[in-house]
């Protein structure tokens, strides 16, 4: 990425990191704290988003970065699916669900835009 030398400079990584913190906080409260398997899945998916962004960036090849952005998008989609379940079983209050879902959707959009940029960069011009 032109002008970016560290993954920590990427807005999408910063937002994914904050999302992981918010997920961890939500999982520590109330009934969620007793649902070990769903909490573990939520936390792992949230961690995976920012981790894949960082790993792909550090590989220093646009094709690798684009691939890891796809992994991050997949983890973000997994996280959203799990948020629905957490809401459906009643341990995630509606306002918390909406806040976390909005943040996850924003990260997903940013990942999609960044992936498109990386894909165009590595595709040959017609």
More confident residue, 74 or 28: 74
Q: What is the pTM of this model?
A: 0.89
Question: What is the tens place of the pLDDT at every residue in 21-45?
Answer: 999 999 887 766 677 889 999 999 9
Q: Judge whether 89 and 32 are in contact, CB under 8 Å.
A: no
Q: Check whether 117 has a pLDDT greater than 70.
A: yes
How far lies 63's CA from each of 1, 4, 35, 49, 102, in Å? Answer: 12, 17, 38, 18, 29
> Poorest-confidence range of 14-18, 25-29, 65-69, 73-77?
25-29
Domains of the chain, by residue range, sit at: 53-121
Model pLDDT, residue 125: 46
Question: What is the tens place of the pLDDT at every residue in 97-114?
Answer: 999 999 999 999 999 999
| Element counts in the chain: helices (H) and strands (E) | 4, 0
State the Cα–Cα distance between residues 73 and 76, nearest whole angstrom.
Answer: 5
Mean pLDDT of the chain: 91
Q: Among residues 100, 80, 98, which one has the least CA distance to residue 26?
A: 100
State the Cα–Cα distance between residues 22 and 27, nearest whole angstrom.
Answer: 9
> Poorest-confidence range of 46-55, 81-90, 115-124?
115-124
Residue 114 CB neighbours (<10 A): 22
Q: Check whether 122 has a pLDDT greater than 90.
A: no
Q: What is the H or E stretch that residue 95 is in? A: helix 94-122
CA dihedral 48, 73, 105, 61 (to 10 degrees): 90
Q: Check whether 126 has a pLDDT greater than 90.
A: no
């Amino acid at each position: 990425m032109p002008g970016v030398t560290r993954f920590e400079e990427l807005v999408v990584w910063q937002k994914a990191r904050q999302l992981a913190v918010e997920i961890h906080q939500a999982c520590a409260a109330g009934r969620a704290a007793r649902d070990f398997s769903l909490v573990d899945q939520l936390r792992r998916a949230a961690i995976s988003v920012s981790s894949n962004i960082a790993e792909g960036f550090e590989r220093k090849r646009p094709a690798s970065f684009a691939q890891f952005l796809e992994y991050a998008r997949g983890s973000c989609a997994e996280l959203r699916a799990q948020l629905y379940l957490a809401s459906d079983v009643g341990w995630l209050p509606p306002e918390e669900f909406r806040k976390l879902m909005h943040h996850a959707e924003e990260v997903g959009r940013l990942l999609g835009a960044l992936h498109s940029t990386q894909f165009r960069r590595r595709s040959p011009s017609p």
